[in-house]
Amino acid sequence: MQRAASVAAHLGFRGQAPHRVTGRGLSSTQDALRRTPLYDFHLAHGGKLVAFAGWQLPVQYRDSHVHSHLHTRRHCSLFDVSHMLQTKIHGRDRVKLMESLVVGDIAELRPNQGTLSLFTNEAGGILDDLIVTNTSEGHLYVVSNAGCRDKDLALMQDKVRELQSRGSDVGLEVVDNALLALQGPTAAQVLQAGVADDLRKLPFMTSAVMEVFGVPSCRVTRCGYTGEDGVEISVPVAGAVRLATALLGNPEVKLAGLAARDSLRLEAGLCLYGSDIDEHTTPVEGSLGWTLGRRRRAAMDFPGAAVIVPQLKGKVQRRRVGLTCEGAPMRPHSPILSAEGTVIGAVTSGCPSPCLKKNVAMGYVPPEYSQPGTLLLVEVRRKQQVAVVSKMPFVPTNYYTLK
């Protein structure tokens, strides 16, 4: 329990009191937490459950966090990400609805192609990051963060009602499926044994509906949040444990939890909403300007465009950068200082890198301090240590693309 709580605290689970869940004697607060369809499965496999974004989720299993992290990089791991919000947008005006809320060019997506995008507000701030897929079944499939579930749903539902009142053909459906992420260099090899489709024809950010190890109607999307090749499988609840059991039957696959997921995404230079990006961060400040579709930039027809588009060519006050250092690990809120000792920013995410054997972090600094190779200082435990601005990702990504 102490180890699980320590790992959870290092991950910066804001406002979440990490606790081991045994299934007996839960407090009223714990009772209020939601459980994924794999809750009992996690307990049976030694999962140490903690509170995260209103859910009871495994932070790690019997293996150490570092072991799980390295196993994902070398083989593949299975993550339960069923806490993520899954929705479908239906109707002729589904693209119109989505483009009224996000910065991406959804209209240009080919059938079964997806993209990472951002909900933004009129001030240019990021409300959430999400993946939008244009399915061949005639709807948009959207996956967004559990911690933003209520505001994301309200945002989309309000827009649906607004467009419907104007005569638009659009509707929203919450998908109650489980969501499993199989991540790592051998993930496709493992999955191929249980599907009839040729996964070599499914490149990064594309998806298809297929039967997976005998479980029908699964949406398999070639994506993930580890920097490795892999898939996310949206599976009907009734088949979730069956599918997880089948995948775990391959010796290449081990279960992994929130701790490994966090350190893997940080090595890959990927943002955690609420830590690295939030409503007070613009896409340009967050080094996410690439999510803005070219047509959308020209039309300036997304929320916050009047703030965001000028920043692409102008100067912003701060930018997200990568940092590396020796010594004590950099943690969220650690002050970042110039070489002269002036506070210029703060760390938003940080941890020891199991792959690089040194500390990595992300944080925000003024543009003049953002060039790779710039020497800065980070205050850790009231001591200043040298940090170097570094290119991201810290560990090369291995997404699968067609040659």
Q: What is the CATH number of the domain that holds 135?
A: 3.30.70.1400
Question: Can you give the residue range of the structural domain that contains 166?
Answer: 84-174+282-315
In a shared domain, residues 187 and 63: yes
pLDDT for position 26: 37
Domain count for the chain, please give it. 3
Q: Which two tokens stand for residue 41?
A: 């499965």
pLDDT confidence band for 315 (50 / 70 / 90): confident
Question: Do 239 and 343 share a domain, yes or no?
Answer: no
Is residue 188 domain-shared with residue 261, that is, in the same domain?
Answer: yes
Residue 204 lies in a domain: yes
CATH number for the domain that contains residue 360: 2.40.30.110
pLDDT of residue 403: 74
- Average pLDDT of the chain? 93
- At 314 the pLDDT is 86
181 and 168, same structural domain? no
> Does a structural domain hold residue 22?
no
Is residue 24 domain-resident? no
pLDDT, average across residues 296-310: 98
Q: How far apart are the first and last CA of the chain?
A: 47
Q: What is the spatial distance between Cα 368 and Cα 218, in angstroms, rounded to a whole number?
A: 48
232 is in an annotated binding site: yes
pLDDT tens, residue by residue, 358-370 = 999 999 999 999 9
Q: Is the pLDDT of residue 101 over 70?
A: yes
Task: Please check whether residue 27 lies inside any domain of the structure.
Answer: no
Q: Left, alpha or beta for 25 (phi > 0: left; psi -120 to 50: alpha)?
A: left
129 and 200: one domain? no
168 and 187 part of one domain: no
Same domain assignment for residues 78 and 186:
yes
> Would you give the distance in Å from CA 141 to the centre of its chain?
16
Helices and strands of the chain, counted as H and E runs: 11, 20
Q: Is the pLDDT of residue 19 over 80?
A: no
Q: In this structure, are 170 and 306 located in the same domain?
A: yes
Residue 289 lies in a domain: yes
Q: Is the residue at 3 inside a domain?
A: no
For residue 194, give the nearest of 136, 249, 241 by alpha carbon: 249
Would you place residue 30 in the very low, low, confident or very high pLDDT band (cuts 50, 70, 90)? low
pLDDT digits (tens, 9 = 90+) for 160-207: 999 999 999 999 999 999 999 999 999 999 999 999 999 999 999 999
> What is d(CA 102, CA 130) in angstroms, rounded to the nearest whole number?
9
Claim to verify: residue 286 and residue 333 sit in the same structural domain: no
pLDDT exceeding 90 applies to what percent of the chain?
91
3-class state of residue 163 by DSSP:
helix
CATH value at residue 198: 3.30.1360.120
Beta-bridge partners for 351: 360
Pair 227, 331 in one domain: no
Average pLDDT over residues 326-353: 97
Do residues 167 and 236 share a domain? no
Domain assignment of residue 7, yes or no: no
Task: Please check whether residue 274 lies inside any domain of the structure.
Answer: no
pLDDT, residue 343, reads 98
Residue 16 has pLDDT above 50, yes or no: no
- Which residues have CB under 8 Å from 139's CB, separation 6+? 88, 89, 90, 94
Residues 191 and 256 grouped into a single domain: yes
Q: How confident is the model at residue 402, as a pLDDT? A: 92
Average pLDDT over residues 277-298: 98
